[in-house]
Amino acid sequence: MRPEAARQPLGIFGGTFDPVHFGHLRLAEEAADALGLQSVRWIPAGRPALRDTPRVGPRQRLEMVRAAIAGNPRFELDPAEVEAPGPSYTVPTLERLRRPDACGADRPLVLLVGNDAFAGMAGWHRWECLFELAHVAVAHRPGYSVDPERLDSELAAAFRRRFCADPARLAAAPAGCIATFAMTPLDISATRIRSLLSKGQSPRYLMPDSVIAHIHEHRYYTEN
């Protein structure tokens, strides 16, 4: 990597991706433009700590993300959580990325989350440590922003203290800010796609054809 590229902010996008869809892809693509990210590293969760066991196994979800992001030079795939034996937590993942043999201490890291994920952040394992390790950027629909009145009080306090209106500031420090960015509203969820597939209905135009082909080939999500 060119030395200047190694100093540009890197987006970190974790999720269950059970399966990956266009809501995820647009979030990552629009974040890269809005926040000046050098690239976005996708990190599928192996065993997500805070939700039911995914319908499809970690390696299969990793392969679906691989198919979805293929050909996008700004996207990269990180298999570490999928390969780890224990539950997936964001803070240990960021600590791994901060090691000298990974991104090191100085590179700006920007954790990308949707509004719903951000609202639940106060329930995450060691969540207060997040801001020492990364910035957080929250995707919202145009016209809607994060409402601190509706957040957990400690998360609302962190939001007020750390909010940064100018995304250019993310490049000036390795971690510590909360930014928001508008993305094209796409009312797509993996839950809805799983439901369609289990009923034999089509998820076409909600996700890439390559992922749909992969799902059909391996007969994922066919049963309730």
- Minimum Å gap between C-beta 6 and ligand ATP is 26
- Neighbouring residues of 127: CB distance < 8 A, sequence distance ≥ 6: 91, 121, 155
The residue among 119 and 171 lying less far from ligand ATP, judged by its C-beta, is 119
Which of the residues 5 through 64 are near ligand ATP (CB under 6 A)?
15-18, 23-24, 27
Binding residue for ligand ATP, selected from 53, 126, 161, 189, defined by CB under 6 A: 189
Report helix, strand or coil for 153: helix
| DSSP helix, strand, coil percent of the chain (3-state; round to 5) | 40, 15, 40
The residue among 116 and 128 lying less far from ligand ATP, judged by its C-beta, is 116
Binding residue for ligand ATP, selected from 65, 133, 190, 215, defined by CB under 6 A: 190
Binding residue for ligand ATP, selected from 33, 106, 116, 147, defined by CB under 6 A: 116
Residue 114's nearest CA partner among 196, 208, 26, 177 is 26
- Minimum Å gap between C-beta 192 and ligand ATP is 7
For ligand ATP, which stretch binds (CB under 6 A), given 87-95, 114-122, 161-169, 216-224? 114-122
Is residue 187 a contact partner of residue 144, using CB atoms and an 8 Å limit?
no
DSSP string, 18-78: TT--HHHHHHHHHHHHHHT-SEEEEEE-SSBTTSPPPSS-HHHHHHHHHHHHTT-TTEEE-
81 binds ligand ATP (CB under 6 A): no
Is residue 148 a contact partner of residue 173, using CB atoms and an 8 Å limit?
no
Alpha-carbon dihedral sign for residues 215, 218, 223, 224: negative
Comparing every residue's Cβ against ligand ATP, the nearest one is 114
Tally of residues, the chain = 224
- Minimum Å gap between C-beta 22 and ligand ATP is 8
Which of the residues 126 through 145 are near ligand ATP (CB under 6 A)?
139
Contact residues for ligand ATP, defined by CB under 6 A: 15-18, 23-24, 27, 113-114, 116-117, 139, 186, 188-191
